Amino acid sequence: MSTAHDIVQAVGGAGNIVSLSHCATRLRFQLRDASGVDVPTVESIKGVMGAVPQSGERFQVIIGGAVQNVYNEINSLPEMADQKPLSDEEIKAAARAGGVRGRFDWIDSFFEFLSDSFRPILGALLGASLFITFMSLMSTLGVIGNWADPRVTLPASWQFMNLLWQSVFVFLPLMVAYNASKKLGADPWVGFAIMGLVMLPGFTALGGIGEAYQATVAGSEVTLIDIFGVPLTIFNYSSQVFPPLLMAAVLGPLYRILKRIIPENLHLIFVPFLSMLIMLPLTAFLIGPIGVYVGAGLASVLQAINSFSPFIFAIVIPLAYPFMVPLGLHWPINAIMLLNISQNGFDYIQGPMGAWNFACFGATAGVLFLAWRDRDIQMRQTATGALAAGLLGGISEPSLYGIHLRFKKIYPRLLAGCLVGGVIIGFGGGLKTSAFVFTSLLTIPAFDNIGLYALAIGAAFLTSMLLVIFTDYRTAEQKAAARRGGVDAVAEPTPEPRVIVVDDVQVNQARQWVTALGGEENIDGVEWIAETRVRVGVKDDSLVDVEALQRAGLAGAVRVTPNVWHLVAGLEAEQYAEGIRRRVASA
């Protein structure tokens, strides 16, 4: 069976699944009843890095970078097409459930809204951050000037290179508007279009015409222009994230109200039109400026703390992040980072944040070392995937949810690494970067003081790793169980018999393939190999009809040696091999 099928069965089957979504590394299930889900069973599934039960009948399965593929495979399963909606009683029961979501539904919904507004664009942000890192490296090496300074004119070729990352960050408000509107049940393209108004070059150009004037608002000089007697604030909304979030927060409820009061057969025309009629001017005149001021206010608070004592700030940020990330509290901070870069041209939060990330990855490296030493195959697989996602992608969730939150002794060792890295950054006077990047090995050149940053994250990494290695992270019972499991896995004295289920379609396919291979009497061996292939031994190669195999639905057939063929059968190769075996045995 596939990983997708095994996961669905382990969480109680398709009938127990209310809804399914995913973030950068995790599948997020809302279940009817999560009490019967066995965490060790879920974690034993191939491709699963860990499982996290949550309050309110929610359950998360950590997959890593392949989460999108597994999510798509689960949704394509036949049994998932027959999901039944929640009854009124079940909805009420879920609302009364314990935990943060049950008692303070708006808190959990708020952070889920933030998460889902950014999650779909993480790949684009990660890709753009690597372009930025390349430009920073070229500037550091003296190949080009300061790419982040608008006063510096780069050669045409490098100007084009500089546009590669701007394609993401300049239009980031449109991406956030689309995702946030979709999350709240509004037409995402309507949200996109509303935010598009203030992104138009013509909108910005209004600030340059004769009627425009300057005024002081909230202590800042802004450009205003009167539109039908109403003052319109002109901002550059590039890279802004708070305005689209606030816009979507108003658009979502408005959309639902309009759907209730407008006849259903007129929804297609009048719900989008009236939404735009209300929200376009509301966003330009009110919501957009409020979003800019809210973001600036939050950024000013953090800036004041950093200005008061960069040393304290550099220590507090990495020590706070291990507790913020599991709660989703890091999303507002990420938005402030983007705002800092947009308004100030640099950000001062990402450097200390890197100390947390690498302390996290160092703890994972220590776990991986112990897993290799103790021959703990399952933990070795989990830690390897988590460490790769961290060091190369700057993603901490696989480490956090797959390992750290499951073993209480890891957090003190991780926090020690955060403290060491933060102290080094603090003594160095802090760090700045001109771009929003994921703090990984690949993005080290993006920081202004590469030596200080490399020293800080290296120290954070080594501190956490060595503490985990020398003091361990498990209880005596957990260590003994891991070692027993490792010995058993290596020795493999008596493998349990496996039952391979072959459905009617696979049986019929196998029959056609057997015929094309020259019939049952021409086959003298069948073996499932390499996940997607079936090795077949034949007595006479001349009886194998490759064209007939392809007509029968086989992706490919390759003769690897005389009388030995490999059939490329896909992810169900094991079932096809069993079907061929049974066909030959019954002849």
Residues 278-316 have pLDDT tens digits of 999 999 999 999 988 888 788 888 888 888 888 999 999
Query: Once rounded to an integer, what is the mean pLDDT over residues 389-412?
Result: 81
Instruction: Label residue 39 by pLDDT band (50, 70, 90).
Output: confident
**445 three-state secondary structure:** helix
Angle CA 297–301–302, to nearest 5:
120
Active site residue 360: no
Q: Tell me how far apart the terminal alpha carbons of the chain are, to the nearest angstrom.
A: 27
Structure tokens at 50: 């860990």
Half-sphere exposure of 14 (CA within 13 A, CB side): 13
Q: What is the dihedral of CA 39, 44, 48, 49, to 10 degrees?
A: 80
Most confident of 10-14, 21-25, 555-559: 10-14
DSSP structure string for 296-349: HHHHHHHHHHHHH-HHHHHHHHHHHHHHHHHHTTHHHHHHHHHHHHHHHS-BSS
Question: Which entry of 4, 8, 10, 23 is annotated as an active-site residue?
Answer: 23
**Integer Cα distance of 56 and 96 in angstroms:** 8
**Integer Cα distance of 10 and 91 in angstroms:** 23
In this predicted structure, the answer to whether residue 489 has a pLDDT above a threshold of 70 is no
Backbone φ and ψ for 428, nearest 5 degrees, come out as: -80, 0
Question: Is pLDDT larger for residue 575 or for residue 232?
Answer: 232
**Integer Cα distance of 380 and 443 in angstroms:** 26
List domains and CATH numbers for the chain.
Answer: 3-103 (3.30.1360.60), 170-298 (no CATH), 309-489 (no CATH), 505-585 (3.30.1360.60)
Whether the model pTM is above 0.85 = no
Residue-averaged pLDDT of the chain: 82
**Integer Cα distance of 8 and 74 in angstroms:** 7
Question: Is pLDDT larger for residue 124 or for residue 485?
Answer: 124
In this predicted structure, the answer to whether residue 488 has a pLDDT above a threshold of 60 is no
User: For residue range 147-201, what is the model confidence (pLDDT) as tens digits?
Assistant: 776 778 889 999 898 888 888 888 999 999 999 999 898 999 999 999 999 999 9
Query: In 3D, which of 425, 462, 466, 436 has the Cα closest to residue 316?
Result: 425
pLDDT given for residue 328 in this prediction: 62
Question: Is pLDDT larger for residue 332 or for residue 445?
Answer: 445
Backbone φ and ψ for 164, nearest 5 degrees, come out as: -60, -45
**Integer Cα distance of 502 and 296 in angstroms:** 61
Query: In 3D, which of 320, 315, 353 has the Cα closest to residue 446?
Result: 353
DSSP structure string for 102-151: HH-HHHHHHHHHHHHHHGGGHHHHHHHHHHHHHHHHHHHTTSSS-TT-TT
**Integer Cα distance of 135 and 165 in angstroms:** 10
Instruction: Label residue 24 by pLDDT band (50, 70, 90).
Output: low
Structure tokens at 41: 């069973």
Angle CA 305–128–432, to nearest 5:
25
Asked if 388 and 442 count as a contact pair (C-beta separation under 8 A), the reply is no
**189 three-state secondary structure:** helix
Helix locations, 200-235, DSSP H: 201-205
R_g of the chain computed on alpha carbons: 28
Query: In 3D, which of 416, 427, 411 has the Cα closest to residue 459?
Result: 416
Asked if 541 and 571 count as a contact pair (C-beta separation under 8 A), the reply is no
Q: What is the dihedral of CA 279, 282, 283, 286, to 10 degrees?
A: -160
In this predicted structure, the answer to whether residue 356 has a pLDDT above a threshold of 60 is yes
Sign of the dihedral defined by the CA atoms of residues 225, 227, 232, 234, in that order: negative
pLDDT given for residue 3 in this prediction: 85
In this predicted structure, the answer to whether residue 487 has a pLDDT above a threshold of 50 is no
Query: Once rounded to an integer, what is the mean pLDDT over residues 5-20?
Result: 86
User: For residue range 186-235, what is the model confidence (pLDDT) as tens digits?
Assistant: 999 999 999 999 999 999 999 888 888 888 776 678 899 999 989 999 98
**Integer Cα distance of 414 and 407 in angstroms:** 12
**527 three-state secondary structure:** strand
Query: In 3D, which of 235, 208, 209, 207 has the Cα closest to residue 220?
Result: 235
Asked if 214 and 222 count as a contact pair (C-beta separation under 8 A), the reply is yes
308 CA to centre of own chain: 34
Backbone φ and ψ for 29, nearest 5 degrees, come out as: -95, 135
Instruction: Label residue 106 by pLDDT band (50, 70, 90).
Output: low
DSSP single-letter state for residue 46? T
**Integer Cα distance of 27 and 75 in angstroms:** 12
Burial annotation 209-243 (CB, 10 A radius, 16+ → b, else e): eeeeeeeeeeeeebbbbeeeeeebbbbbbebbbbb
**Integer Cα distance of 128 and 501 in angstroms:** 45
Strands 220-227 and 230-234 turn out to be antiparallel
**Integer Cα distance of 488 and 67 in angstroms:** 30
Beta bridge partners of 433: 347, 447
Q: What is the dihedral of CA 471, 476, 478, 483, to 10 degrees?
A: 90
pLDDT given for residue 157 in this prediction: 92
Instruction: Label residue 40 by pLDDT band (50, 70, 90).
Output: confident
